[in-house]
Amino acid sequence: MRSIAKRIISCIILMIMLFCVMAQCTKIAQNKVSYRKTAPFFEYKDDFDVLFLGTSHVKLGVLPMELWNDYGITSYNFGCSSSHLPTTYWIMKNALDYSKPKVIVIDCWGLSQPTKTDETFAYVHEAFDAFPLTVTKIRTSFDLVDDPAETNTETNTLNEKHTRMGLLWNYSVYHKRWTELSHDDFEPRITINYGGELRPFICRPDDLAENDGSKCDDMDAVGIQYLERIIRECKENDIEVLLTYFPYSLKNETDWSEINTVYDIANKYDIKYVNFFGENIINYNTDLADSTHLNPSGAWKVTDYLGGFLTENYRLDDHRTDAGYEHWNKDYEEYVAYKEDLLKTATDLNTYLMMLKDKEFGYDVEIGDRDVLGDRVTAELLNEKGKSVEAGDYEENAGGRIKVNVFRINDPDNIIDMSVFARPQNIDIPDEYINRYATSYEITDEGRIKIVYYELYNPDNVINTVTISIPQGFGFEDRLPNTLGTVFQNSMAVRVSD
């Protein structure tokens, strides 16, 4: 009997050891996208008064750190790429196992989608990989994978078969990644964006489609069913709901049917709805990263609007001076450093000016190179900061120099960034800085811009030096679309070596 007991105990110990080894292998091998997105949520799961749910429109459109700094709102952004409303419902259910928010904000794009998940299952992994195995996650896998509408789609181009096992134990999906592993898989980089994302590009918008007043034909569509489930379950748990429809370059008239239908759903449940297409908040010429997503400039505007709306319409506390929330201020400083790093990677003048639209900053500018104002996007970026866009308002200074002094809005006497623009001859441009829409060109002696970026409150410590030049013979309106049809509105002024 003792021998049998020892064998049983040995088998149990062996199984436990095997489980631990497999768990660690899974942790190392899995894609870290979901982990990087949700790590701060699990660290501070008791903090959050507001959760944002929806697609990548939300992921790139709401910046929780800005809400914290400006309004004292503690929030998390659970927006995920191509998250259909059934997927969004289960993201909410999993998140509510750990957090009890006062308000949930749901973006309603995809209301008429016929499937529960996107055909690219990697997007589902982005949403759920980081959630521990629980009863709720098991229920998630049974509901989302059990979707006849998805499996019967003839044009399905899945890069992974939809399986419950793949969602519950993702080692079955990632076990072939061993040859791809990098340092980041062992020590993942966590950005302090609380689920949000900054995408520093500027895209030319499509012509917005006219609102024809139409509404969704099928009020029993799976997207509508799950949106109403979200609303009902939030009400049952005393959680307020705010519906939204985020702005993008809307070119399909059918999208208006969703926007219009949400009004009926909001009225049915007596909840509020913010339709950003009915608000004059963003500038479509300067605030889009691509045709469907906001860049940082657009996200700052939308986030600020939501912060004011949430504060005015819901009972949310301002936690900025509350004990136990000091780590939010620390994380905010890391977030500001992250924005500075993004600024340093800007390879053209328009992107640089767009990043300087952060409302914390103002700047004074002298423009000696009047050709800069020939770019409509550059002019609009300057105009939104209250700068003149009339070439006649500027005088050619010695050497065609352009000077920019950046300061905090609430402390204009403290210069935190000094930019100097000059135009010497014989400029060599590194390949990685060449504008993607020019194959080759020659820089004139009147096209160079040099920007020196200083550490905040320490102008003797140079963080970054940027040199930009305007090429000759390439018109501002000659930008060409990429393979996806997106036209990026990079400035013709690009970085060059000193």
User: Could you give the domains of the chain?
Assistant: 15-329 (3.40.50.1110), 348-495 (no CATH)
What's the average model confidence in pLDDT over 258-281? Answer: 96
Of all residues in the chain, the percent with pLDDT exceeding 70 is 63
Which pLDDT belongs to residue 428? 41
360 and 407 in contact (C-beta within 8 Å)?
no
User: What is the band of 32 on the pLDDT scale with cuts at 50, 70, 90?
Assistant: low
Per-residue pLDDT tens digits for 40-99: 899 998 999 999 999 999 999 999 999 999 999 999 999 999 999 999 999 999 999 999
- Whether the per-residue pLDDT at 31 is higher than 60: the answer is no
Helices (H) and strands (E) in the chain, counts: 17, 13
The whole-chain average pLDDT of the chain stands at 77
CA 214-217-220 angle, to 5 degrees, is: 135
Other residues' Cβ atoms within 10 Å of the Cβ of residue 391: 14
State the helix-helix crossing angle for 85-95 and 135-145, rounded to 10 degrees.
170
Q: Is the dihedral of CA 449, 453, 457, 459 positive or negative?
A: negative
Question: Which tokens belong to 56?
Answer: 């990548």
Which pLDDT belongs to residue 375? 76
- Whether the per-residue pLDDT at 377 is higher than 60: the answer is yes
User: What is the band of 259 on the pLDDT scale with cuts at 50, 70, 90?
Assistant: very high
User: What is the band of 248 on the pLDDT scale with cuts at 50, 70, 90?
Assistant: very high
Report the C-alpha dihedral over residues 6, 11, 12, 13, rounded to 10 degrees: 90
Residue written as token pair 């767009």? 354
Of all residues in the chain, the percent with pLDDT exceeding 90 is 38
What's the average model confidence in pLDDT over 473-477? Answer: 47
Q: By CB neighbour count within 10 A (0-12 exposed, 13-18 middle, 19+ buried), where does 267 fall?
A: exposed
Helix, strand, or coil (residue 171): helix
Record the pTM.
0.79
423 and 448 in contact (C-beta within 8 Å)?
yes
Which pLDDT belongs to residue 385? 79
Q: Report the C-alpha gap between 368 and 403 in whole angstroms.
A: 8
E-assigned strand segments in 322-426:
361-366, 402-408, 411-421
Which pLDDT belongs to residue 39? 86
- The residue among 247, 245, 259 whose CA lies nearest residue 206 is 247
User: What is the band of 467 on the pLDDT scale with cuts at 50, 70, 90?
Assistant: low
Which pLDDT belongs to residue 351? 85
User: What is the band of 349 on the pLDDT scale with cuts at 50, 70, 90?
Assistant: confident
Which pLDDT belongs to residue 492? 53
Choice between 16 and 275, residue whose per-residue pLDDT is larger: 275
Q: Report the C-alpha gap between 375 and 205 in whole angstroms.
A: 16
Q: Report the C-alpha gap between 39 and 191 in whole angstroms.
A: 9
What stretches of 2-49 show up as alpha helix (H) in DSSP? 2-29, 33-43
Question: Which tokens belong to 88?
Answer: 């969004």
User: What is the band of 296 on the pLDDT scale with cuts at 50, 70, 90?
Assistant: very high
